[in-house]
Amino acid sequence: MRTAEIKRRYLAHFEANGHTVVPSAPLPAIDDPNLLFINAGMVQFVPYFLGQQTPAFKRAVSVQKCIRTPDIDEVGKTSRHGTFFQMNGNFSFGDYFKEGAIKLAWELSTGAYGLDPERIWATVYLDDDEAFDLWRKIGVPAERIVRRGKKDNFWSMGIPGPAGPCSELFYDRGPAYGRDGGPEVDEDRFMEFWNLVFMQYEITDVKSKSEFTVVGDLPQQNIDTGMGLERVASLLQGVDNLYEIDEVRPILARAAEMTGKKYGAKSGHVAGESHPDDVRLRVIADHVRTALMLIGDGVTPSNEGRGYVLRRIMRRAIRAIRLLGWQEPALPELLPVARDCMAPSYPELAADFERISQAAYGEEETFLGTLRAGTTILDTAIADTKKAGRSALAGDKAFQLHDTYGFPIDLTLEIAAEQGLDVDADGFRVLMAEQRARAKADAKARKTGHADLSAYRTVLDANGPTDWLAYETLETDSRVLAVWGTGEIVTVALDRTPFYAESGGQDSDAGLLTGPSLRAEVIDVQRPVKGLVAHTVRILDGTIAVGDTVHAAVDPEWRVGARQAHSGTHVVHAALRHVLGPSALQSGSYNRPGYLRLDFAWRGGLSDVTRSEVEEVANQAIRRDLPVGVRYVPLEQARHEGALALFGETYDETVRVVEIGGDWSRELCGGTHVDRSAQIGSLAVTGESSVGAGQRRIEAVTGIEAFRYLARERDLVGRLAAQLKARPEELPDRVTALLARMKQTEKEAADLRARLLDLDAEEYAAGAVDVGGIAYVGVTITGDGKTLAEKVRNRLGNRPGVIGVLAGPGLVVALTPAAVDRGLSAAHLVKLLLSGRGGGNAGFAQGKATGDPAELLVQLRDLVGAA
């Protein structure tokens, strides 16, 4: 049974039993400050379990995309660890409880999935007699029901809140997989495939998974279950592990074919351990699929947060296939295979593949460049290590290559071994541990638990949703429902508001709240919980209190500028797709009055011609005065009509579609817009830059800000034309000629300086004084002390010589080879002169000088004489 069919049957089973099918949330955990990625099926339902929000349904079912990265280094070493996985889950919010969950799980497992009921085992919490009796009632014999402790069969989120016992289902895969006796004896043979969590308690004083205090029963009992889709697939497809199911094995097979390796090779390796080639093939298969899913959900490679995790995953895959012998770009061979594996369950991956592949291939290209640069640096470090007579590359050098340049430690070890060197792995591990400790401390400092939204929730429950009128009006008379905070800056909830709350890339409105004894500036507007609008205000005059009637007024000029910018963002997006093609899809945006920026998928910068063409297409659309319309339609209808959505965003079943010129621009959007495109005024592109591999950013100004920008440009051109006594159209040729002349002048000046330096070096070498049989030169100059010291040294030829040059605060000491042969060292002399500061080698050293320069050169001469 293919994985897509397993997913379909799961959803159909629970939908037929009264559950609302809830789509998977995007992998980025946008609404949870503690998570980078969704890591469990219940994450999007946490606000319901915590009582922060009231669900619109009592029963739900989902197949949630998940990412777990704490064990990323274990991926491939065992058959259990995977970075991306899918979690089937059914949920009850105060509806059915243990009996219903157990009955539904048994019916699906033995019915639609056809698992042999004689091979299913169940575990229950130690004292959960109710669950034990329910399994007995359904037909599981007592000898196949195992009681287990808190470590295995009690669930919590690791923080004070809901918790409860759980019951896990295991399937006996047969004697070929291990010993008989149930999951207590062998969890390889007896594979867990479903966990039913019975949320019935509230806990506090949480110290660990097994140390907490049960406060009492929850107001309502909930069900949260998790069935690993990949695990069930391995059972139903009769394969050993998640790497061999239909959604993963083809990627692994293609990697094996590319590298000439055979998966499952055991010859000559330690029994019981995976062969290194197998580990690498599993890493490739898992990480390529994970990268596909992350980029599909809008994550792009970067050096921070989610983007860094994606980058690390991709680089581990690229590194693994290089270690198997493949030196060319690998993702163009592997990513299409992953797409074909996953598209039956996620058809949007095929539709968006051009964008996804651009980001992925660009990242691989960048990393291959990193590897080339890192190899050069490593080669130099190896040469220096050998020259110094050491047998091991320093741990700090290996760490620098890893941390600064992204050069994998595995490759450092491999290349060093090829050159007959070890690597100070202990030193490297110490530095890595220190870095991880710093990162962990930073994460702990930032982690504050689930945001306390109870105060907002209380206001929402007591008064209902805010009457949000931002689309209809700029002014309302409103009643104050709540005030949080004291002093000059407070947060206010109103029963109705005309203010746009920041969302969808659009900045919040500005304006005033006024009353008989109040004048307050609105400086921010947010939605802390769905349905409630909260205004952050600065009190200018008077006071504000619950029950007051206030006049809420949006600054009309602000709103005009905001509408122009947001509509301008849509116009620029459409223009980009018109000029570059449909793969130039928006991945993020921000707009405020008069300004917009838009991030989009594209490899390589835009030429001046292309940038001008995008600007021209956008302004032509503005000039055509296209109608701007808004419709509310079902999400699936909007997708069918080709409406563009922002990656990573979660949408309701009914969505708002904004159209400019009908299908010329059609996007899902909750922002404020002009009525016709000509109201944007004009649009000027002000910049285009890179924001990551395969990602570009275009910036523009609109309306009056565009006129001001163009006026400044015109003024600048006018002043340049006047200074150069040329017409504006002649400026490019004039500037090019000036630059050419300047370059030639700089070259001539450099040649003259070099000739003068040669003359100086000749003079200084001729004037060298004899100090104990060593030619000594000590000079103070303004200029390039290093070059002068080298030139003087060359002119001393075979004579033992020491040259000291003070150039500003910098001291340079150079020795001829004959002086080095006599046992002198430039590095030693510099350290003696500068009290241990400075550095270099026997022939050349430098450092920052302090004190009297003349005295320093005298001291150097004395040191030479004493030697």
Annotated binding site for Zn(2+): 566, 570, 669, 673
Question: What is the torsion angle, in degrees rounded to the nearest 10, for the CA atoms of residue 342, residue 343, residue 344 and residue 346?
Answer: 90
- With tokens 């704490």, the residue in question is 70
Q: What share of the chain is helix, strand, coil (3-state, %, to 5)?
A: 45, 25, 30
Give the count of beta carbons closer than 10 Å to the beta carbon of residue 162. Answer: 23
Nearest Cα to Cα of residue 410 among 420, 426, 425: 425
Write the Ramachandran bin of 734: left for phi over 0, alpha for psi from -120 to 50, otherwise beta: alpha
Helix (H, G, I), strand (E, B) or coil at 198: strand
CA distance 17 to 20: 9
Question: Following DSSP, what letter does each residue of 475-523 receive, concatenated?
Answer: EEEEEEEEEE--SSEEEEEESEE-PPPSBTTBPPP-EEEEETTEEEEEE
Nearest Cα to Cα of residue 566 among 472, 471, 644, 670: 670
Helix (H, G, I), strand (E, B) or coil at 341: helix
- With tokens 């799961």, the residue in question is 10
Q: Which residues contact 167 (CB under 8 A, 6 or more apart)?
A: 98, 102, 122, 123, 124, 125, 128, 131, 135, 153, 195, 196, 198
Cβ(867)–Cβ(823) below 8 Å: yes
- DSSP label at 74? G
Tokens of 572: 């620029």
Cβ(842)–Cβ(827) below 8 Å: yes
Cβ(814)–Cβ(844) below 8 Å: yes
Helix (H, G, I), strand (E, B) or coil at 228: strand
Q: Report helix angle 608-623 to 556-580, nearest 10.
A: 120
- Report the binding-site residues: 566, 570, 669, 673
Q: How far is CA 851 from CA 687, 801, 808, 840, 863, in A?
A: 49, 25, 12, 21, 17
In terms of Cβ atoms closer than 10 Å to its own Cβ (0-12, 13-18, 19+), residue 711 is exposed
Q: How far is CA 76 from CA 72, 107, 243, 414, in A?
A: 9, 34, 9, 20
Q: What values do phi and psi take at 72, rounded to 5?
A: -60, -35
